Amino acid sequence: MKEQIANVQADALAQIAGIADMKALEDARVSILGKKGSLTQVQQGMRNVPKEDKPAVGALLNQARAIITAALDDRKAELQRALDAAAVAGVDLTMPGATLPEGGLHPISIVRDEAVRILRRMGFTLSDGPEIEDEWHCFDALNTPDDHPARNEKDTFYFDSGKLLRTQTSTVQARVMEKQAPPVRIICPGSAFRRDAIDATHLSAFNQIEGLYVDKNVSVGDLKGTLEYFLKALFGSETAVRFRPHFFPFTEPSFEIDVLLQAAGQAPRWIEIAGCGMVNPAVFENIDKATGKQLYTGCTGFAFGIGLERLAMIRWGIRDIRLLIENDARFLAQFQ
């Protein structure tokens, strides 16, 4: 009996060592340890073993079962390891990724949203107005004389109805002040139109962001502080900004704002980026006259207008403004 046990154990271990797949391993488990397995059959010989030998033979049987089970488990683990290794063996992680359709925002949207976010942090709220405007909101209310050069069919798009495409987002200044009492602290991103031929630096339809702050005691210092903060937040705290005296009918004093552009390989140069100034009292008087209320006379305020195309061109070094309206995907893919 003892000899039989030793033989079965030796055969079993030899068989297990030679097994190469999981199925053969499970078959072997059944053929050795199962009901009709070789070890189970030897075990049935126990009833013929003399009583005094039973404990020793029994111990031997249990030991053989434990050794074979362990061998089976070890072999199973080995086989699983090999299978797992094989499962990832051919994978080349250096392969390029699969492709998804690429999406993204237009650069004007990116820069507009950034400008809006900065200005809203400074307490400006968004406003809006029609792009098809009347002469009153576009010119008269804004103190633009009847014989001003902009007020003719060569420079401004008119309609047969007498209306026009607004030449500036400043129209929204008049629209907002007509409707609400001061204080006013608004911005308005939007389109404006001028009868310019399209070239590398001009579009006949372009985007601006307008700002207006009207209250008691608004000062030139506020104008300067607000726009310096805005431009530094947009272009970086090191950005050099200068205010040049200028002329606009609806602000007095008026300024143009330049930022110092430092492009790689080029001498630094000042680039005009915005127009601004203190609201001309004549504008307040025009609004009050139109509404019949004395809400704005005696107020002070500042207004500014910034070209969004210009912001984008400076920001990303875009040389030709037409790229912004052509929408070539190879161009747009550069912005994130």
Partner 1 sequence: MNISLNWLANYIDLDGLDTKQMADMLTFAGIEVEGIQQRGVTTDLVVVAQVMEKTPVEGSDHLNICQVDAGEGKLRQIVCGASNYVVGDKVPCALPGAELPGGWTIREGKMLGHASCGMLCSASELGLPDKVHGLWILPQDYPIGTPIRNYIDTDTIFELEITPNRPDLLSHWGMARELAGITGRALKADPAAAPTAAAQTRAAGDFITLSAPDVCPLYTATRISGVKIGPSPEWLAERLISIGLRPINNVVDITNYCLFELGHPLHAFDAAKLTGGLNIRRAAEGEQFTSLMEETYTLCTDDLVISDASGAALALGGVMGGLDSGVTEATTDIVLESAWFTRSNIRFTSRRLALGSDSSYRFERGTSPWNVLRAAARATQLILECAGGTAEPVLVGGQAPCLVPEENAPTATVLTQGTQALIHYALDQVSLDWKELDVMTNASVPHMEAARILRNLGLKETTPTATTWDCPPWRLDLKRSCDLLEEIVRVYGIDNIPATNTSIFVEESAHDRAHDYRMALSRKLAGAGFREVQTFKLIAEQSIDPTIASVQHALPIKPLMQGDIIRVALPISEDHSTLRPSLAPGLIAVAARNINQGMEVLRFFECGRVFRNTGGGKGRDIENEVLGIFMAGKLAPASWDNTKPAQAGYQHLHAALDILVPKANLTLTPARDRDNAALGADIQLNGQPCGYFARLSLESCRNLGLPAECYYAELDLRKLQQIATAPYKAADLPQFPGSGRDASLDVPAATRHADIMKAVEAAKQKLLVSCRLKDVFTDPTGEKLPTDRKAMTYTFLYRDAKKTLTAAEVDAAHKAMLDTLAAKVKSLSFR
**Which token pair is 128?**
């809006």
Minimum distance of partner 1 from residue 126's CB (angstroms): 4
Binding to partner 1 in span 235-264, by CB under 8 A: 243-247, 252-255
Is 215 among the residues that bind partner 1 (CB under 8 A)?
yes
Q: DSSP secondary structure string, 229-262?
A: HHHHHHH-TT--EEEEEEEETTEEEEEEEEEEE-
Question: Residues of 72-102 as b/e, b for ≥16 C-beta within 10 angstroms?
Answer: beebbeebeeeeeeeeeeeeeeeeeeeeeee
Nearer to partner 1, 228 or 288 (CB): 228
Residues numbered 54-83 forming contacts with partner 1, rule: CB under 8 A: none
CB of 1 to partner 1, least distance (A): 57
Question: Within positions 91 to 130, which residues make up the interface with partner 1, using CB under 8 A?
Answer: 95-106, 108-109, 113, 116, 120, 122-128, 130
| Pair 183, 215: CB distance under 8 Å | yes
CB of residue 251 vs partner 1: minimum separation in angstroms?
9
Tell me, residue by residue from 137 to 176, as one string, x for binding to partner 1 by CB under 8 A and - for no binding: ---------xxxx--xx---xxxxx-x-x-----------
**Cβ of residue 43: shortest distance to partner 1, in angstroms?**
48
Distances (CA, A) of 48 to 8, 65, 93: 18, 20, 64
User: Nearest CA to 63 among 93, 88, 42?
Assistant: 42
Candidates 13-21, 32-40, 49-57, 226-234; binding stretch for partner 1 (CB under 8 A): 226-234
Residue number with CB closer to partner 1 (97 or 236): 97
Q: Which is nearer to partner 1, 35 or 330 (CB)?
A: 330
Task: Find the binding residues for partner 1 in span 287-326 (CB under 8 A).
Answer: 300, 324-326
Using the rule CB under 8 A, give the single segment among 12-20, 25-33, 58-66, 279-287 that binds partner 1.
Answer: 279-287
- How far is 173 from 275, CA to CA, in rounded Å? 14
C-alpha to C-alpha distance for 110 and 190, rounded to whole angstroms: 14
Residue 305 CB, shortest distance to partner 1, in Å, is 16
